[in-house]
């Protein structure tokens, strides 16, 4: 059992934004649990971090967010090792250009980006101290602006745009953060639920995009519109660590088209703030994960 030091979990900590968020938390003296689907990749990332920050407390643990049994196994293993959790960064994400489903027949991006984190949070929140420094940080995206929740087509099988499932999943992450905050408030808890997006950064997320998009992005957009992964992690670290943060706030880069620039409050759609949509999303998330989320 780990006592004393503040503990954070970062999902998808082995690459991209999660890797930089992990380093930021370590510099702020957290013991970070790297919750990753590939132990091999996670151990390599850990080694790389320890080269730069040798006195860091880092633990690698396995999780596949698209597989709800794996999420439950992770939560159990975490609880047996750690008595408390101070910050949960729901960072892991995937973007596909073809319809893929998990073993429960749920569209893979909705399952991984939203449902896996919904379930993980529901299983771990009991270990979070009732303090304003306890935070759940959910990763959304500018892509949320392009979507609604397709309650009658949650697997996006009738959607024609290739990135519709990703956009829906990232909208779900944002709506989840708000609804969680409302529920925490109603329960009289001090724990904070916040959300953030990194703007745009060239990361592993690009790997499954249509190759034509990647070429256009890398040779035209990336140098002008996107920022380094280190800078992309800053809004997430602001949400996780800044003193003045209030529950329900949404952070992102405030510069050019919100793709880069200094971290601050991010813009969001009216749809993303609809409480009726949030309540409905919460209900189907409980149904699809087979888990009642108790606060």
Ligand X SMILES: NC(=O)c1ccc[n+]([C@@H]2O[C@H](COP(=O)([O-])OP(=O)(O)OC[C@H]3O[C@@H](n4cnc5c(N)ncnc54)[C@H](OP(=O)(O)O)[C@@H]3O)[C@@H](O)[C@H]2O)c1
Distance CA 242, CA 104 (A): 38
Query: In this structure, are residues 220 and 11 in contact, taking their beta carbons and an 8 Å threshold?
Result: no
114 binds ligand X (CB under 6 A): no
Is residue 41 near ligand X by the rule CB under 6 A?
yes
Q: How far is CA 69 from CA 53, 76, 84, 110, in A?
A: 33, 11, 22, 16
Residue 290 falls in which region: left (phi positive, over 0), alpha (psi -120 to 50) or beta:
left
Is 247 or 252 the residue whose CB approaches ligand X more closely?
A: 252
- Residue 37 binds to ligand X (criterion: CB under 6 A): yes
Q: Any contact of residue 15 with ligand X (CB under 6 A)?
A: yes
Residues of span 138-177 touching ligand X by CB under 6 A = 139, 141, 170
Taking CB under 6 A as the rule, does residue 66 contact ligand X? Answer: yes
Q: Which is nearer to ligand X, 16 or 247 (CB)?
A: 16
CB of 283 to ligand X, least distance (A): 23
Give the residue, chosen from 6, 9, 10, 16, that forms a contact with ligand X under the rule CB under 6 A: 16
166 as an active site residue: the answer is yes
Q: Please list, in sequence order, all residues whose beta carbon lies within 8 angstroms of the beta carbon of residue 54, skipping any fewer than 6 positions away.
A: none
Q: Cα–Cα distance between 100 and 213 in angstroms, integer?
A: 20
- The percent helix, strand, coil of the chain (3-state, each to 5) is 50, 15, 40
Q: What is the DSSP letter of 263?
A: E
Residues 202-241 touching ligand X, rule: CB under 6 A, are 203-205
Question: Which residues are within 8 A (CB) of 5 and not within 5 positions of it... i.e. 6 or more apart?
Answer: 29, 30, 31, 57
**64 contributes a contact to ligand X by CB under 6 A:** yes
Q: Which of 166, 219, 250, 271 is catalytic?
A: 166
Q: Does 65 bind ligand X (CB under 6 A)?
A: yes
What burial letters (b/e) apply to 2-27, b meaning 16+ CB within 10 Å? eeeebbbbbbbbbbbbbbbbbbbbbe
Residues 74-103 interacting with ligand X (rule: CB under 6 A): 91-94
Question: Whose Cβ is closer to ligand X: residue 44's or residue 81's?
Answer: 44
Q: Which stretch binds ligand X (CB under 6 A): 195-203, 215-223, 261-269, 277-285?
A: 195-203
Give me the active site residues, please: 166
Binding site for ligand X (CB under 6 A): 11-12, 14-18, 36-38, 41, 63-66, 91-94, 112-113, 139, 141, 170, 197-198, 200-201, 203-205
């Amino acid at each position: 059992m780990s006592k004393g030091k503040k503990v954070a979990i970062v999902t998808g900590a082995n690459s991209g934004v999660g890797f930089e968020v992990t380093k930021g938390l370590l510099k702020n003296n957290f013991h970070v649990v790297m919750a990753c689907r590939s132990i091999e990749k996670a151990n390599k990332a850990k080694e790389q971090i320890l080269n730069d920050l040798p006195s860091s407390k880092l633990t690698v643990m396995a999780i596949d967010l698209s597989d709800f049994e794996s999420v439950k196994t992770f939560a159990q293993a975490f609880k047996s090792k750690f008595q408390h959790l101070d910050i949960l960064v729901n960072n892991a994400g995937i973007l596909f250009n073809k319809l893929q489903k998990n073993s429960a027949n749920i569209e893979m991006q909705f399952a991984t980006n939203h449902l896996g984190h919904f379930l993980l949070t529901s299983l771990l929140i009991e270990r979070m101290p009732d303090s304003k420094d306890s935070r759940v940080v959910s990763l959304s995206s500018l892509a949320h602006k392009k979507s609604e929740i397709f309650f009658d087509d949650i697997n996006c099988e009738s959607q024609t745009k290739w990135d519709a499932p990703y956009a829906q999943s990232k909208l779900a992450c944002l709506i989840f953060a708000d609804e969680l905050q409302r529920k925490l408030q109603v329960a009289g808890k001090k724990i904070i639920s916040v959300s953030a997006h990194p703007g745009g950064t060239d990361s592993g997320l690009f790997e499954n995009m249509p190759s034509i998009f990647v070429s256009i992005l890398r040779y035209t957009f990336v140098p002008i519109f996107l920022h380094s992964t280190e800078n992309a992690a800053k809004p997430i670290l602001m949400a996780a660590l800044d003193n003045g943060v209030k529950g329900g706030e949404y952070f992102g880069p405030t510069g050019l088209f919100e793709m880069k620039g200094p971290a601050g409050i991010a813009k969001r759609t009216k749809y993303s703030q609809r409480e009726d949509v949030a309540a409905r999303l919460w209900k189907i998330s409980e149904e699809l994960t087979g888990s009642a989320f108790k606060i």
